[in-house]
Amino acid sequence: MKLNKKTAEFFIPDQTDTEQAIKRTTHMSIAAHQDDIEIMAYDGILKCFGKDDQWFFGVVVTNGSGSARDSIYKDYTDQEMIQVRRLEQKKAAYIGEFGALALLDYPSAETKDPKNTEIVDELAELIKLANPEVIYTHNLADKHDTHIGVTTKVIKALRKLPKSALPKHVYGCEVWRDLDWMLDSEKVVFNVSERPNLAAALVEVFDSQIIGGKRYDLATQGRRVAHATYSTSHAVDQASALIFAMDLTPLILDPSLDIKSYVLDYIDRFKKDVSDRISKIL
């Protein structure tokens, strides 16, 4: 498969033939930026790590040119930052033993453009080729416009595919807004307690982001630990790190569902829960 952008590329850490590497995929993540995969889709990386019958495929949609920069990266041009972040993502793919990585290299503006069908079509082709059991992408309540742009395009891409090519599960995961607010009965909960060293290394390799003034390494691990402790108030912790996700699968199985209404319904149920809890105490 040939990617749309001339500057886009595949990276196969174990040097397997590209098409064969993608076809062995069981878990796939489609993310906006370099390091989003490692933050939100660690469950998939962990499930595939060290396995020969489960493989992780990461897809990064944008080129990452607009990132914050400081220290040695302070005077880097956008083009130089693109190259730095591309290399960091490849390092993460190698550390995490990804089966394959695709760097699509789109500007953020194209991702946020609702009329852009090029990205939708390319994602549909990648998903069709990979035929994963699980897809991890951004949640629909994320506060980063580029993340929402990616998620809506993932949904549109999946809706173009025949049912035989659809994954069993599609999850909207946490980066720029966590999902602690969701009702416990509606959260998808991933126990990611294992291999904390791997979890740390995968985020720490993005040096340009961390030294640029954003401690994503500490914040990511802190959120997972906080979820593990605060997920239940009357029980001893059963995990040391949790990731929460929103189940987006119904949007794929029933294309008639409105995307915006789907996430607003979650918010309305949260609002009702808060209201009911206060009302019974007043």
Write the pLDDT tens digit of every residue in 33-83.
999 999 999 999 999 999 999 999 999 999 988 777 778 888 888 899 899
How do 134-138 and 169-173 pair as beta strands? parallel
Residue 188 in this model has a pLDDT that exceeds 80: yes
**Cβ(255)–Cβ(147) below 8 Å:** no
Q: How far apart are CA 264 and CA 274, in angstroms?
A: 15
* Confidence (pLDDT) at 234: 66
Angle, helices 216-230 vs 196-204, to 10°: value is 140
Write the pLDDT tens digit of every residue in 233-270.
767 778 999 999 999 999 999 999 999 999 999 999 99
Q: Which helix (H) or strand (E) holds 91?
A: helix 78-95
Residue 235, token pair as written in the block:
């029980």
Domains along the chain with CATH numbers: 9-279 (3.40.50.10320)
Closest CA to 147 of 36, 32, 67, 251: 32
Residue 7, token pair as written in the block:
């500057």
Q: Beta partners for 132?
A: none
Closest CA to 29 of 51, 48, 15: 48
Q: What percent of the chain has pLDDT over 90?
A: 88
